[in-house]
Amino acid sequence: MRDALRPVTTAALFVICVVLAASYAFGQTPARVRVTKQATLWRVRFPTPIVVVDPGVELEVVARRGRWYEVVVPFLDPDHPEIGLIAVSQVEPISGALPITPPPAPAVEPFAAGRFARGPVAKSWWSRRVFIDINGAQQERTTTLSERGTFAASLEQGTFTSAYPVKKGSVLMLDGGVRLAGGLAASVGVSRFKSTQAAGITAEVPHPFFFDVMRSVTGVSPGLAHQEIAIDIDARWMSSAGRRIQIAVSGGPTVVVVTQDLVSRVTYSEAYPYDTATFTGVEFGKASKSGLGGNGAVDVTFLFSRSIGIGGTVRYARATVDFVGVDGSVLPAVVGGAQVGGGLRLRF
């Protein structure tokens, strides 16, 4: 009889042990600690700060590394939790069983905690999802657009060649976007570059008395305007490099709308016997065309607070636009270039 009951007894004891173990496991609550003084949460793999928390903030403990606890970082996206380090001396236990045997310390110890945020609940810039950057910059690229056209004079066709220099000038830049997840963000930017330069003109003017006899005139036409408006649709990767510094790298397609004053006719003066002519000016009209290109930028921001700061940016954009001259010819123009500047940073 005892031999018959022995397997049943063994099975019953095994089931009881499993149930007790499961009950104990499910009954365990996550270990939690309370911050006792303002403290910095640091990244695990390299010693850069994530966020500063005020006294009273509760944190969930994951593990222990030497004199540091690994905790779940608050204030970030709950769907993508991040683990950070906090000094054991800066917290007190409030619930659950804390790790007793500490594993080895991190390969690189974080620096001492520093002050950055204030308020009852301290959030870092990382909790700010919306950003606006306002920059003034200098476009460094210099180029020249060339045009060849014709005009009617003395029952013949005169010809002219004009060269439109586009020199360095100031750029106004406005960018805004939203952080999507982690360091990934999407942004839209608008920039405006305008230059007014003199154009060099060379023309061949028909003689009023003799066919196929041309008179050469040259001159300079001041005040021809060139304008570029660029619209960027970018992906941006944002990261921190200290308590107050952000670094962002962005890039994407660019639509550029270019407006250019183009010469349509050369004006001149002449007197008997009309063997020479003198340049007096030009007639011109505005032409506007758009083109597709691309851009890339690096931006560094220094924050005075969680919402406002200053920054510097280096951007490069390039696009090709095809104008149509007065004689129907295509005038390809490469626009854009390197832009270096800085300005205001806003975070919401």
Indicate which CATH number applies to the domain containing 144.
Answer: 2.40.160.20
Q: Pick the last residue of a domain from 105, 124, 143.
A: 124
Say if 307 falls within a structural domain. Answer: yes
pLDDT of 47 > 90? The answer is no
Q: Pick the last residue of a domain from 80, 97, 124.
A: 124
Return the structure tokens found at 85. Answer: 């380090």
Same-domain check for residues 310 and 278: yes
56, 88, 48, 83: which is closest to 69 by C-alpha? 88
Same-domain check for residues 179 and 111: no
pLDDT at 33: 92
Return the structure tokens found at 254. Answer: 């660019």
Largest CA distance in the chain: 143
Which residues are CB-contacts of 271 (< 8 A; sequence separation ≥ 6)? Answer: none
Same-domain check for residues 267 and 234: yes
Same-domain check for residues 114 and 60: yes
Same-domain check for residues 141 and 117: no
Integer Cα distance of 129 and 176 in angstroms: 11
Q: Quick one: DSSP state of residue 104? A: P
Whole-number CA gyration radius for the chain: 35
Q: Pick the last residue of a domain from 124, 141, 169.
A: 124
Same-domain check for residues 51 and 100: yes
The Cβ of residue 166 has, within 10 Å, a number of other Cβ atoms equal to: 22
Average pLDDT rounded to a whole number, residues 333-338: 90
pTM of the model: 0.63
Strand 39-43 versus strand 130-139 pairing type: unpaired
Say if 17 falls within a structural domain. Answer: no
The sign one gets for the Cα dihedral 84, 89, 91, 96 is positive
Say if 19 falls within a structural domain. Answer: no
Same-domain check for residues 265 and 208: yes
Say if 15 falls within a structural domain. Answer: no
Lowest mean pLDDT, pick from 50-64, 171-185, 193-207, 300-314: 50-64
Integer Cα distance of 261 and 141 in angstroms: 19
Same-domain check for residues 261 and 148: yes
| Full domain range(s) for residue 44 | 28-124
pLDDT at 248: 94
Same-domain check for residues 227 and 277: yes
Same-domain check for residues 101 and 175: no
Residue range 129-172, pLDDT digits in tens: 899 999 999 998 888 888 888 888 888 989 998 888 888 899 99
Strand 91-95 versus strand 49-53 pairing type: unpaired
Same-domain check for residues 328 and 209: yes
Q: What is the mean pLDDT of the chain?
A: 82
H/E stretch holding 73: none
Say if 7 falls within a structural domain. Answer: no
Same-domain check for residues 120 and 140: no
Count: domains in the chain: 2
Could you give the percent of the chain with pLDDT greater than 90?
39
Q: What is the CATH number of the domain that holds 104?
A: 2.30.30.40
Confidence category of residue 106, pLDDT binned at 50, 70, 90: low
Say if 4 falls within a structural domain. Answer: no
**Residues forming a β-bridge with 38:** none
The Cβ of residue 250 has, within 10 Å, a number of other Cβ atoms equal to: 23
Lowest mean pLDDT, pick from 9-23, 159-173, 250-264, 327-341: 9-23
